[in-house]
Amino acid sequence: MPSSSWPSSSLLDLAPVLPVVVIEDAADAVPLARALVAGGLPAIEVTLRTPAALEALRAIAGEVPGAVVGAGTVLTPGQVKECVGAGARFLVSPGWTELLLEAMQASGVPFLPGVSTTSEVVALLERGVREMKFFPAQAAGGTAYLRSLAGPLPQARFCPTGGIGINSAPEYLALPNVGCVGGSWMIPADAVAARDWGRIEALAREAAALSAGGTCR
């Protein structure tokens, strides 16, 4: 994902944390997104894990101007087309195939293909892709694995996602090849169920203040 494909900067540089959102009820999409944006997390990944996902993505794109909303768990070329049509400004996949990569490259929006091995990283670099999702981060080796990649493959940058929380995020953010981390700890299920958007905004603000070593940016 060349930086020139993003209008202002790399997607990885918009905020230290990319919220990974699973929306069960599309009616929650707009207030949830507004809470995240108000807390300082403008980039929002809506995952395609529920029937409400596309409707939620469309609502956020149309009604929350401060949000940079994208689609996650993108698995097929058909989903790429649907998501961009619904207003997705970026795409995230847990892994990649040649067909999926071609569709994402042709979509006209930034994308983060998922990787968990060195060979996958090298294969993407060969294809001109330098920004990737590292997934599942903790299970695939965590910070030790990413640190070991920084020497031989310094041109690759990552958004690690999977098993990361507010306590482990600073260790990832301290790595030279990590631009941001993905997570959902700032969107606890009980807060969404209670529609406690103020609590989510407060948790988002705490996440937005993270940087290397846990200090504010």
Is 80 within 8 Å of 93 (Cβ atoms)? no
Q: Which of 81, 102, 133, 171 is catalytic?
A: 133
Is 49 within 8 Å of 93 (Cβ atoms)? no
Q: Which of 45, 131, 171, 201 is catalytic?
A: 45
Tokens of 208: 């937005």
* CA atoms in the 13 A half-sphere facing the CB of 113: 28
Tokens of 14: 């918009």
**Beta strands 181-183 and 17-21: pairing type?**
parallel
Counting other chains too, the contacts that 211-215 makes at CB distance below 8 Å and 24 or more residues apart are 211/16, 211/170, 211/173, 212/170, 212/173, 212/174, 213/170, 213/174, 214/170
The helix (H) or strand (E) run that includes residue 48 is none
Q: What are the backbone angles phi and psi of residue 132, rounded to the nearest 5°?
A: -145, 160
- 81 is an active site residue: no
**Cα(169)–Cα(146) distance, rounded to whole angstroms?**
13
- 102 is an active site residue: no
Query: How many other C-beta atoms are found inside a 10 Å radius of the C-beta of residue 180?
Result: 25
Q: Which residues are catalytic?
A: 45, 133
